[in-house]
Each structure stands twice: as C-alpha cells, then as structure tokens.
Amino acid sequence: MKKAKHLAALPLGGVGIIGTNMMVYDCDGDLIVVDAGVSFPNENTPGVDVIVPDTRFLRDHAKNIKAVFITHGHEDHIGAVGYLWDDFAGAPVYGSPIANLIAQSKLQELGIKPQKGQLRVAKAGEPVKLGKFSVEYVPVSHSVLESFALAITTPYGTIVHTGDYKFDDHAPFGHVTDEKRLAEIGQQGVLAVFGDSTNAMKETEAGSEGPVQAHIADIIANTKGRIFFASFASHMGRVLPVAEMAAKSGRKVAFLGRTVNKMLGYAKELGYYPDSLKNMVIEAEEVSGLPADKVFVFASGTQGEGGSSLTRLSQGMDVRGIKLKSDDTVVLSSRMIPGNERAILNVINGLSTLDVNVISELTDRKIHVSGHGGRPEMARLYSLLKPTYVVPVHGEPMQMKAHAELARELGYQPLRLQPTRKLVLAEGVADEGEELPLEEAGRAKGKAFKPFHTQHTYPHGFNYIDGLNILENDPLILRERRKIAYEGLVSAALAINTRSGEWVSDIALTTRGLLDEVIQADIMKGAVAKVMQVLETIFPDGRIDDRTRAAEAIQQALRKHFKHERGKLPTTVVQFVEV
Ligand SMILES: [Zn+2]
Ligand SMILES: [Zn+2]
C-alpha cells in the first residue's frame, strides 16, 4: 500500500521572537522536538513569571514524539522543560551534562519526578538514532558552557539546527566551534540550516572572549578599591576565569545570587571549577572585614532585575552585610538586552548617585562580547555547510529578515517560516515501510523540490506561567490586569432587603489605584449620588427587580462619573448584598 511521506518543520516558538524556542521536526510522522525555552514578561504581561510555547500540537501527537533535544542551558532554550514536561509524553530528553543538571533542578523545583532514564546525556560525535532521525551534537562556541548545534539526518536529507553559536578562535574556556565536523557534514550534503538570527543585523564578528578577559585582568590589576563584577550568571566561561584572575591577584571572591551559586555547583560537579579558586571563595558576610584591595564580589543582575543583588546594592541597600561605598568599582560585563534598557540605566544611575566608579558597555566597548555570531560568522558557517536552504530562526522579524537577505546575498535560498503552518521540505508517496525515493522528492539530479507551507494550520501561541496558574491562550486575565493597572478599580456594594428587594442604604464604594478617597471625598460622594439618581430613575419604587440591569446601570454611571472627574475608565465590580 502506498503512503504519503514527508519531512517538515513546525515552529512552536522562537520565530519572530527571541525566546520560547521550540522546533518540531516531522519525518514520516515521527516527531522530534528541539529546545523548550521560555521568554520573560514585559509591560503587557504584568505579574507573569515566564512565557512558554503553546504545546497543544505535542499533546495532539503525543504518541509520535521520539525525543526532545536541548541545544544548551540558556533559559530561552531549556527554561520550559519543567512546565512542559508532561507534554513530552515520556519521550527521552537529551542534553549536555550541564543541560542535564539544569533540567533535573527545574523538575525538582516543580516536584516532578522523571521516569528512570528519561533525562539522557548527549555526547558530541555519538549520534542518537530514534525512528527516522539520527541526531548528532556538534560543539559550538557560545556564552554558556556546552553549547551544541544539531545535525539531524533523515532519509530525505540532513537539517542542521544551529542553536546559538559563534566562532571564537580564542576562547579561553569552553567549546570552540567544531569546524572540521561541520565541514564533513557539509560535504555529505545539507538540505537546510535552521540558523540563529540574533546578530544578523551586525556587520562585524561577535568578537572573542579572550581579549575581553585580558581587558578585565587589566581592570583588576589597576583597581585599588573593592571590585564588584556583574555578568550573566550562566556564563561560567567568563565567571570562572575572571574569578580565578581575581583570586590570583590576592582578592577573596564572594558570589551573590542564587543562579550563580547554582551554576557554580554544576561547574563543580562536572569538573569545570578551577582548583585555584577553592581556598579563595568566601561568604558574603565575610567581605566587610577585609581590606578593600582584597575584595572581589560577583553580583547578579546585569539586566536591572528587581530584587537582584546588583539592583539592591545600587539602591544603597545592605546585601548580606555588604553596602556600596564611593571608592568601590562596579564592572558590568554584559550588554543591555533590548527592552531592559530603562531598568539597567536605573541601576547605573543608582550607582552614580552612590558615587561608585562604574565600568559598563556605555563607556567601555571591550567589556563584553556577544555569544551570537554576526554576519561574517553566519557566512563562515554557511561556507562550511553549503546548505540548499537557509531557514532563519531565533530572532525578531527584523533579524530574521536580515538573515534571509544575507543568505540570498551569499547564494543560498532562504525560506521564511510561517508559524501555524508546516514547512514541508520533502514530500511524496512510497510503499508502506519504505522510504520516499529521493527522485520522487524531486531533489535528485539537481532538480530542486520546492518547499512549501501547508494550507492547514496547527495551534501556535504562548502560555503564561502566572504564580501557580497557567494562562493558556487566554488574554482575558492579562487584559483585566493591565486595565486595572492603568485605570484603577471601583468596587460597589448595594444592600438589598431580601424579602422586598428594596435597597436599604446608599451604594457603598471602595476604590483602588484611582484616587485618594479622603482628600477627594467629594468625588466619591458625587459618585454615590450619581448612582442613586440612576437607580431611582430606573427603579422608581426603590425595588431592584432586575439585578443584571441594575448592575449594568451602576457600572455605566460609575464609569461615566470617573471618566468625567478623573479621566479614567476604571474596572467596576458590582455586588448586591442581601440583608
Ligand atoms: Zn544561548
Ligand atoms: Zn538563545
């Protein structure tokens, strides 16, 4: 019997957005999932903890999921593993040793017990074969230890899913992109590269980690007072060597922040932790007893996160016995992630108010390099892999567009993903149990099969982790929350005689986030008068015989009143209290 065969990609996240990375590859109905990331809330999602991909597609195809592959341990790739664990339906989840430890801790935090052997360690050069797929981890340079590109081989061609990468020929610590292996994969033929677009608008290379650390060494050598150092806590390839340099210069090192201490624990467990640090690390509480030139403190919070050590220090607060003073130096070895500028500037302004010496990318361009390759590195990758198609992922629309244009300039065919529609890379009909002859897929003898997006759609969107709740594709609660945040709230209670239905007193009003009820008591009084006047007009005998109508009338009267008096349309809640 003949059966339809295909190779397709379905993005569940990470397309048109930096964050919530999740890609599904489908070969003849076998599915693999690459990454399970989160993105972080913004002003449109107040109160939300993190945002995860909508995984209804996975739930609908639970039986077909062969495995999940995590490219690296950044939150935008691994952060949703715990929240989405049930959607993997028992499929094995592969990742590097450090990704494996991060995933374990996420499951533990949520009280999830994985099945025995479900979390598996992937090793470079040892492909995992599952169903129609063979997946090989290829080491790449990036700003977190153990980052990988995936070479995904199927009967219809090889897809390289780059993950986050750059080329760094002078990385003092961590992976160097395995160009030799990438070139070999390229020689065997690559159908498509699904590539990181983050720095597709950057004309220059990301830059090497080596010179950054040499520069930080100079800063340590030339600073007399206490040094506070902030960089991304997950960037152990910078945190550990810099801490080592500080220790070698005779400074004791303290680490502030939960994430960095967690990462240090993983580094110890996996043998990355340098011996020279072992007797030089102290508790934060010991810092105040030391001479200034013997202090090096790692402080978390490069993005101005509320509650982080650096943010609190910048506000003059005491963090575990440490307060900033005017001859301290704070080094921000990081970049401003778009959207966080204001929060970071608040931190820098706070530090400036405290008269602390601040070194950041605003004044010192050598203080940080990106973990994502710029256009020259993207070109370098494509010259190794020589793919038929380039599919931009991991970017906002502007970056994905720039990536597609670069691919075209370089002579590769770009394909733009459309979330909600499958991108079909090969398709045809073959006998059951047989694979599709490549001639039929149309790719033999140079005749290119034309990839296309299917007509029918699949569910795509975002779910919001909100305290203990998950808001699934439900904009209602967030809309209400935003509205209350911007317009305030009025609660109205009307006491009604149970038997007669008559109101027994004037309406009682309480507001939140709208006005000062004491100072502006006359506006409140006016509101009560307006409501009672409306009720008396509609229900002249003083009896409420239609509560829905009464509630609507009260709401309208209140909104009209506060619009007129305060220029605000508050959310109104009406209750009838029977007495
Ligand atoms: Zn990353
Ligand atoms: Zn990423």
**pLDDT tens per residue across span 212-242:** 999 999 999 999 999 999 999 999 999 999 9
Ligand nearest to the backbone CA of 19: 2
Tell me, what's the pLDDT at 338?
83
**If you measure from the C-alpha of residue 74 to the centroid of ligand 1, how many angstroms do you get, rounded to a whole number?**
5
The DSSP secondary structure of 285-342, one letter per residue, reads GGGGGS-GGGEEEEE--TT--TTSHHHHHHTT--BTTB---TT-EEEE-S-PPTT-HH
**If you measure from the C-alpha of residue 19 to the centroid of ligand 2, how many angstroms do you get, rounded to a whole number?**
7
Structure confidence by residue, pLDDT tens digits, 27-76: 999 999 999 999 998 888 888 999 999 999 999 999 999 999 999 999 99
Q: In angstroms, rounded to a whole number, what is the distance separating the alpha carbons of residues 310 and 315?
A: 9
Q: Is the pTM of this model over 0.75?
A: yes
**If you measure from the C-alpha of residue 144 to the centroid of ligand 2, how many angstroms do you get, rounded to a whole number?**
10
Are residues 173 and 341 in contact, defined by beta-carbon separation less than 8 angstroms?
no
Q: The tokens of 59 are what?
A: 């739930």
With CA atoms as reference, report the closest residue to 10 among 492, 535, 301, 425.
425
Q: In angstroms, rounded to a whole number, what is the distance separating the alpha carbons of residues 197 and 381?
A: 13
Structure confidence by residue, pLDDT tens digits, 413-441: 999 999 999 999 988 888 877 777 766 66
Mean pLDDT of the region 71-87: 97
**If you measure from the C-alpha of residue 71 to the centroid of ligand 2, how many angstroms do you get, rounded to a whole number?**
9
Average model confidence (pLDDT) across the chain: 94
Are residues 185 and 138 in contact, defined by beta-carbon separation less than 8 angstroms?
yes
Mean pLDDT of the region 465-485: 88
Structure confidence by residue, pLDDT tens digits, 259-300: 999 999 999 999 999 999 989 999 999 999 999 999 999 999
Ligand nearest to the backbone CA of 72: 1
With CA atoms as reference, report the closest residue to 187 among 415, 383, 410.
383
Q: What is the CA radius of gyration of the chain?
A: 29
**If you measure from the C-alpha of residue 240 to the centroid of ligand 2, how many angstroms do you get, rounded to a whole number?**
21
**If you measure from the C-alpha of residue 450 to the centroid of ligand 2, how many angstroms do you get, rounded to a whole number?**
29
**If you measure from the C-alpha of residue 476 to the centroid of ligand 2, how many angstroms do you get, rounded to a whole number?**
29
Are residues 333 and 229 in contact, defined by beta-carbon separation less than 8 angstroms?
yes
**If you measure from the C-alpha of residue 382 to the centroid of ligand 1, how many angstroms do you get, rounded to a whole number?**
20
Give residue 77's region: left, alpha or beta (phi > 0; psi -120 to 50).
alpha
**If you measure from the C-alpha of residue 122 to the centroid of ligand 1, how many angstroms do you get, rounded to a whole number?**
18
